[in-house]
C-alpha cells in the first residue's frame, strides 16, 4: 500500500514529457474540491494577493521616499517585505488562476517553479523574522556602543536569511525530495505524501530547521527582552509600566500570528507525511496553505504599520505633507550605553544599561521611550527654547 502510494505521489518527480498531464489529472481527480470550493479558494487567494501586494509595495515606497526610515533595523523589515511581495508577484497569481479553473494550468515545470519559489520565499520570511528578533535582542541587551549608521551587521543578517533559505529549498530540485501538486491540485509544494526515506528525511529537516528553530529564536529573544523591561519597571513603575504593556502586546501579537500562519501548515505537512494515507483531505490541506500565504498580508501590518515611525511617514504621504518631527526623527548617529551596577537588599547585583540617543527604539519610535535624568545628576540648562533633550532608555538585566 505504501509502495503504491509513493509511486502515485512521486510519479511526476521522475516522470515527465507526455505523462505529466496524466499524473496531474489523476492526482486532481482523487483530491478534488467542488466548484464552489475552488471559487472560495480563488476569492481568498485574490484577497491575499491583492492586499499583500499593496501592503508590501507601500512599505517599499515609504522606505524609498523618506530618508528617516533608512535605519539598519528597518532594512530587515524591508527584506521581509521584499520576500512577501515576491510571493504575491511570482506565486499567488498562478494558484489564483488554477483555482478559477479548478486545475493546474502551467504544467510540470510550472509546478516545480511554483513549489520552489513559494517554499524559498516563505522560509526567507520565517528566518528574517527570527533574525529581526535576535537583532532587537542584541541591540537592547548589548552593553557596548551601538552605531545606528552601521549597516554591516544587518546586511550580514539579511544575506544569512536568503542564503540559509536557499540552502534548504534547493535540494528538492536535485533529488532530495521533490516539488509536486499539493491538496486539490491547484497549488504545488514539497511532496508531503511520499513515504520514502529520502523524502521523509528532508521533511523532518525542513520542519526542524525552517519552522521550529526560528520559532525558538523568536520566543527566546523576545522573552529576554520582556524580562529586561520587567526588571526596569520595578525601578521606575510610573514611566515603565505602560511601555512594558505595549511591548508585551507586540510580542504576544508577533508570536500568535507566527503560530497562526505557520503551525497549521507544519502540522498538516507532518500528518500527510506520517499519518495514514488519505488522512489529510483536500479541504483540510488548502486551509493551512491559505493561512501560510496570509502572512504576506499580516507581516506588514504587525511589523510595519504598528511602527509609529512608519505611520507618521504614511500619514505624510497620504496628506502630502512633511512627517511630524519628534524625538524619533532626530538624526543622531550613535547610541551611548552606560553600565551601572546596583546591589539590591537581597544581595543580588542588578546591572542597568542607560542608553542616550535620538533615534527610534527597537519596537518603533515613541513605544514607551522615556526622558529621565540619572540619580544625583542635574539636568543641563537649556541652550535655548525649543531645544530637545536626548531620549534616554533604561534597560535592566540582572547578574544572577
DSSP letter for 146, please: E
CA dist., res. 177 & res. 197, Å (int)? 9
Instruction: Cell numbers for 193, please give them.
Output: 505524501
Q: Which of 250, 284, 270, 285 is CA-nearest to residue 129?
A: 250
Outline where the chain has alpha helix (H). 2-9, 11-14, 19-30, 35-65, 72-90, 92-101, 107-141, 152-169, 197-207, 213-235, 237-274, 282-293, 295-300, 308-319
The whole-angstrom separation of Cα 18 and Cα 110 is: 15
Q: Answer whether residue 171 shows pLDDT above 70.
A: yes
Q: What tens digit of pLDDT does each residue of 58-71 get? A: 999 999 998 888 88
What element of type H or E holds 18?
Answer: none
pLDDT in tens, 80-124: 999 999 999 999 999 999 999 989 999 999 999 999 999 999 999
Confidence bin at 329 (pLDDT 50/70/90) = very low
Eight-state DSSP code of residue 8: H
Query: Is pLDDT at 373 greater than 60 in this prediction?
Result: no
Lowest-confidence segment of 8-17, 39-48, 126-135 by average pLDDT: 8-17
Please state the rounded mean pLDDT for residues 271-286. 83
Round the average pLDDT of the chain to a whole number and report it: 75
What would the pLDDT profile of 380-395 be if each residue is shown by its tens digit? Answer: 444 444 444 444 444 4
pLDDT, mean of residues 167-193:
91
Provide the b/e sequence for 171-206 (b: ≥16 CB within 10 Å): ebeeeebbbbbbbbbbbbbbbbbbbeeebeebbeeb
For the purposes of burial, counting CB atoms within 10 Å of the CB of 352, is it exposed (0-12), middle (13-18) or buried (19 or more)?
Answer: buried
User: Tens digit of pLDDT for each residue in 305-323?
Assistant: 777 888 888 888 888 888 7
What is the predicted pLDDT for the residue at 199? 92
Domain covering 2-319 assigned CATH 1.20.1070.10 in the classification: yes
pLDDT confidence of 354, banded at 50, 70, 90?
Answer: very low
Q: Quick check: 343 pLDDT over 90?
A: no
Q: Is the pLDDT of residue 233 over 90?
A: no
Residue 324 confidence (pLDDT): 67
Inform me whether the pLDDT recorded for 166 exceeds 80: yes
Closest CA to 322 of 67, 54, 58, 56: 67
What angle, rounded to 10 degrees, do the helices at 92-101 and 72-90 form?
A: 30
CA distance 273 to 256: 25
Amino acid at each position: 500500500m505504501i509502495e503504491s502510494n509513493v509511486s502515485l505521489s512521486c510519479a511526476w518527480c521522475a516522470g515527465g514529457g507526455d505523462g505529466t498531464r496524466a499524473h496531474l489529472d489523476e492526482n486532481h481527480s482523487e483530491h478534488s474540491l467542488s466548484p464552489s470550493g475552488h471559487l472560495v479558494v480563488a476569492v481568498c487567494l485574490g484577497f491575499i494577493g491583492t492586499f499583500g501586494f499593496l501592503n508590501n509595495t507601500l512599505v517599499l515606497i515609504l522606505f524609498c521616499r523618506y530618508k528617516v526610515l533608512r535605519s539598519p533595523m528597518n532594512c530587515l523589515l524591508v527584506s521581509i517585505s521584499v520576500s512577501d511581495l515576491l510571493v504575491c508577484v511570482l506565486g499567488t497569481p498562478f494558484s489564483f488562476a488554477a483555482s478559477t479553473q479548478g486545475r493546474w494550468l502551467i504544467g510540470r515545470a510550472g509546478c516545480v517553479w511554483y513549489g520552489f519559489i513559494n517554499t524559498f520565499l516563505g522560509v526567507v520570511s520565517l528566518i528574517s523574522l527570527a533574525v529581526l528578533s535576535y537583532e532587537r535582542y542584541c541591540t537592547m541587551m548589548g552593553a557596548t556602543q551601538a552605531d545606528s549608521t552601521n549597516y554591516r551587521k544587518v546586511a550580514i543578517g539579511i544575506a544569512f536569511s536568503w542564503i540559509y533559505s536557499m540552502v534548504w529549498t534547493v535540494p528538492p530540485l536535485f533529488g532530495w525530495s521533490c516539488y509536486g501538486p499539493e491538496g486539490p491540485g491547484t497549488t504545488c509544494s514539497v511532496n508531503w505524501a511520499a513515504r520514502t526515506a529520502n523524502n521523509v528525511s528532508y521533511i523532518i529537516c525542513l520542519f526542524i530547521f525552517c519552522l521550529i528553530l526560528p520559532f525558538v529564536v523568536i520566543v527566546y529573544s523576545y522573552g529576554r527582552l520582556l524580562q529586561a523591561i520587567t526588571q526596569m519597571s520595578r525601578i521606575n513603575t510610573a514611566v515603565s509600566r505602560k511601555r512594558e504593556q505595549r511591548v508585551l502586546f507586540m510580542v504576544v501579537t508577533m508570536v500568535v500570528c507566527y503560530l497562526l500562519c505557520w503551525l497549521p501548515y507544519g502540522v498538516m505537512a507532518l500528518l500527510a507525511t506520517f499519518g495514514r494515507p488519505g488522512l489529510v483531505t483536500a479541504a483540510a490541506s488548502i486551509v493551512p496553505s491559505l493561512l501560510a500565504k496570509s502572512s504576506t498580508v499580516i507581516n506588514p501590518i504587525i511589523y510595519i504599520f504598528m511602527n509609529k515611525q512608519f505611520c507618521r511617514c504614511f500619514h505624510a504621504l497620504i496628506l502630502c505633507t512633511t512627517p511630524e518631527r519628534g524625538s524619533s526623527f532626530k538624526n543622531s548617529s550613535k547610541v551611548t550605553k552606560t553600565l551601572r551596577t546596583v546591589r539590591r537588599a537581597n544581595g543580588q547585583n542588578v546591572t542597568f544599561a542607560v542608553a542616550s540617543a535620538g533615534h527610534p527604539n527597537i519596537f518603533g519610535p515613541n513605544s514607551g521611550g522615556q526622558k529621565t535624568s540619572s540619580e544625583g545628576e542635574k539636568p543641563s540648562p537649556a541652550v535655548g527654547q525649543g531645544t530637545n533633550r536626548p531620549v534616554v532608555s533604561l534597560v535592566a538585566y540582572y547578574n544572577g
